[in-house]
């Protein structure tokens, strides 16, 4: 690809052909890589300035009825030390987070049948009553349309549900037969129609993933137009069938963040914990590649290492206050500032 065409292509990435996307994704040309990240960073700066939104992550249950081959809290991992937070514990995480400047809370957990619509609605209503100025995000997997509606009515604003891979065959290599890409996409459609701000995304470098699969991921996201996009490297967990597989790479994750930022300039894109886990400066590099969100952990320190989706997860020994201050300093060093804001999607 001739140099002078970079800017033209980068500014029209949402319209680029699959073969152009592929060329950018796999280029060994370091100049093109650098130009891509620079263009993406400029796009994020134009959209959000040097402001970074924070989301307080509350990992409230590691029980899960599913058995995804990549995930450390899969139901057949009988070595996982299971826990559930109760309503009071969750409310106290939120109160703590509010004091620290968080205005979005993310309730994330495995697919845990204990948390029925009734139980969850009660918790959602209580959080919204205590913090009416905050946004509430759910990340609790596949549920029925009725369930999504009930939780939205209770006050949930946003929902994170990664599609994991846009290719049905690849999907079946990562998940048991009980799960399907078709149902995942059906859930995403329901969530959007109900009115949630929706996030989707995928793991970079997951086992059996091909370059063409990644192009399918980009095209699916470009078409679905989620408000949020979460991507991070796959990292093996020692008690899963994928224990011997390789992690996704920093470079490929950064390149994909940059491409997604250029395709969907307004999307809220986190520099994920997994990115910070494969490289000590992974989150900073994610921000410099066009991400604009970080999701520090607000879970009680007691449970953090138990919420183990992959090995060597960072921040499992730190207090919430330490994490937010650590991130604030890290981001200041690269010229960015954490803000006290719900950080809603701006149309």
Q: Which residues bind ligand 5AD (CB under 6 A)?
A: 70-71, 162, 164, 203, 232, 234-235, 237, 274, 309-310
Residues 281-310 that bind ligand FES (CB under 6 A): 296
The answer to the question of residue 322 lying near ligand FES (CB under 6 A) is yes
Which residue from 67, 316, 324 is spatially nearest to 179, judged by alpha carbons?
Answer: 67
Smallest separation (angstroms) from ligand 5AD to the CB of 16: 25
**Residue 101 · residue 131 · CB < 8 Å:** no
CA 245 to chain CA mean position, Å? 21
How many residues bind ligand FES (CB under 6 A)? The answer is: 7
By beta-carbon proximity to ligand 5AD, the closer residue of 16 and 188 is 188
The answer to the question of residue 44 lying near ligand FES (CB under 6 A) is no
Smallest separation (angstroms) from ligand 5AD to the CB of 340: 25
Which does residue 194 bind out of ligand 5AD, ligand FES, none, counting CB within 5 to 8 angstroms by kind? none
- Which residues touch 240 (CB under 8 Å, ≥6 apart)? 69, 70, 71, 72, 74, 77
The answer to the question of residue 315 lying near ligand FES (CB under 6 A) is yes
Q: Where are the beta strands (DSSP E) in the chain?
A: 51-54, 56-61, 104-109, 135-139, 158-160, 197-204, 228-233, 293-294, 337-339
Which does residue 315 bind out of ligand FES, ligand 5AD, none, counting CB within 5 to 8 angstroms by kind? ligand FES
Cα dihedral 323, 42, 231, 265 sign: positive
Among residues 326, 339, 341, 342, the one that binds ligand FES under rule CB under 6 A: 326
Instruction: Determine whether 213 is exposed, middle or buried from the number of CB atoms within 10 Å of its CB (0-12, 13-18, 19+).
Output: middle
Which does residue 196 bind out of ligand FES, ligand 5AD, none, counting CB within 5 to 8 angstroms by kind? none
Of 16-24, 142-150, 231-239, 314-322, the segment contacting ligand FES by CB under 6 A is: 314-322
Which does residue 296 bind out of ligand FES, ligand 5AD, none, counting CB within 5 to 8 angstroms by kind? ligand FES
Which does residue 239 bind out of ligand FES, ligand 5AD, none, counting CB within 5 to 8 angstroms by kind? none
Integer Cα distance of 247 and 250 in angstroms: 9
Integer Cα distance of 64 and 68 in angstroms: 10
């Amino acid at each position: 690809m001739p140099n002078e065409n970079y800017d033209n292509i980068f500014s029209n990435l949402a319209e680029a052909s699959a073969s152009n996307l592929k060329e950018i994704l796999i280029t060994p040309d370091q100049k093109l890589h650098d130009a891509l990240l620079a263009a993406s960073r400029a796009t994020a700066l134009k959209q959000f300035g040097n402001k970074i939104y924070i989301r307080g992550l509350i990992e409230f249950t590691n029980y899960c009825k599913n058995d995804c081959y990549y995930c450390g809290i899969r139901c057949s991992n009988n070595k996982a030390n299971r826990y559930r937070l109760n309503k009071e514990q969750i409310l106290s995480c939120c109160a703590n987070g509010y004091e620290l400047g968080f205005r979005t809370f993310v309730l994330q957990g495995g697919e845990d049948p204990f948390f029925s619509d009734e139980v969850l609605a009660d918790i959602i209503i209580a959080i919204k009553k205590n913090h009416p100025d905050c946004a509430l995000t759910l990340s609790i997997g596949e549920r029925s349309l009725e369930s999504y509606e009930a939780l939205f009515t209770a006050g949930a604003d946003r929902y994170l549900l990664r599609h994991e891979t846009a290719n049905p065959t690849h999907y079946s290599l990562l998940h048991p037969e009980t799960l399907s890409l078709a149902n995942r996409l059906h859930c995403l459609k329901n969530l959007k129609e109900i009115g949630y701000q929706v996030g989707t995304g995928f793991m970079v470098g997951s086992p059996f993933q091909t370059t063409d699969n990644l192009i399918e991921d980009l095209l699916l996201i470009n078409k679905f137009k989620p408000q949020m996009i979460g991507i991070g490297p796959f990292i093996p967990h020692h008690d899963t069938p994928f224990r011997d597989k390789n992690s996704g790479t920093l470079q490929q994750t950064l390149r994909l963040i940059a491409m997604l930022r250029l395709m969907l300039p307004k999307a809220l894109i986190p520099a994920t914990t997994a990115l910070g886990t494969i490289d000590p400066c992974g989150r900073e590099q994610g921000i410099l590649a066009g991400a604009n969100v970080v999701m520090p952990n607000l879970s009680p320190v007691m449970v953090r290492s138990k919420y183990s989706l992959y090995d060597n997860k960072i921040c499992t020994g730190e207090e919430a206050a330490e994490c937010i201050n650590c991130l604030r300093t890290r981001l200041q060093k690269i010229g960015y500032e954490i803000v006290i804001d719900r950080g809603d999607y701006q149309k």
